[in-house]
């Protein structure tokens, strides 16, 4: 299992802890930045992570900003990417089980590291259920296709 991770300055302080947690679980993690806590724009990093995940079939991503809102919005603009803004283990589980999300998004100013670890545990251990959910995910992909001429 391979994860790409990217944040803005407001999610930067969690990045190393999340990388260490993924590594402790034997999961490969590739850091797409930023390298310092200097102010940056979350669309640049949401896009970077989403493009990396899109170009590396079977990989996953984690994006973090202050709320998780802006960086997940940006990631979701990349066609084929489903980034899920999660707040707890339940939403992280459902993001995989029902939505086949490839990217887990959350806010450093919203959730503590204990909750972050529980979301990661849920996200990496849950498979997409397929079935009726497959049709719905395909309908999400069809929206991308309709606007990508």
Which spans of this chain sit near ligand RB5 (rule: CB under 6 A)? 8, 10, 42, 65-67, 69-70
Closer residue to ligand RB5, CB minimum distance, 41 or 56: 41
Q: Which one is catalytic: 9, 13, 49, 65?
A: 65
Measured torsion, CA atoms of residues 88, 92, 93, 98, in degrees rounded to the nearest 10:
130
CB of 45 to ligand RB5, least distance (A): 10
Active site residue 9: no
Count other Cβ atoms within 10 Å, centred on residue 90.
Answer: 12
CA 99 to chain centre: 12
Active site residue 65: yes
Chain position carrying tokens 């944040």: 7
Closer residue to ligand RB5, CB minimum distance, 17 or 125: 17
CB of 70 to ligand RB5, least distance (A): 3
CB of 34 to ligand RB5, least distance (A): 12
For residues 54 and 75, is the Cβ–Cβ distance under 8 A?
no
Residue with the shortest CB distance to ligand RB5: 70
- Dihedral sign (CA 71, 120, 54, 76): negative
Q: Please list the active-site residues.
A: 65, 98
């Amino acid at each position: 299992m391979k994860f790409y991770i990217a944040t803005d300055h407001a999610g930067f302080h969690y990045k190393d802890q999340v990388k260490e947690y993924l590594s402790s679980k034997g999961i490969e993690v590739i850091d797409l930045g930023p390298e310092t806590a200097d102010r940056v724009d979350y669309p640049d990093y949401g896009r970077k992570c989403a493009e990396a995940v899109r170009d590396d079939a079977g990989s996953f991503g984690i994006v973090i900003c202050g709320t998780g809102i802006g960086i997940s919005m940006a990631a979701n603009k990349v066609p084929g990417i489903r980034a899920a803004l999660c707040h707890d283990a339940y939403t992280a589980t459902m993001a995989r089980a029902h939505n086949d999300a490839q990217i887990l998004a959350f806010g450093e100013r919203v959730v503590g590291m204990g909750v972050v670890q529980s979301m990661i545990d849920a996200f990496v251990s849950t498979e997409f259920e397929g079935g009726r959910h497959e049709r719905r995910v395909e309908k999400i992909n069809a929206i991308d296709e309709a606007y990508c001429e």
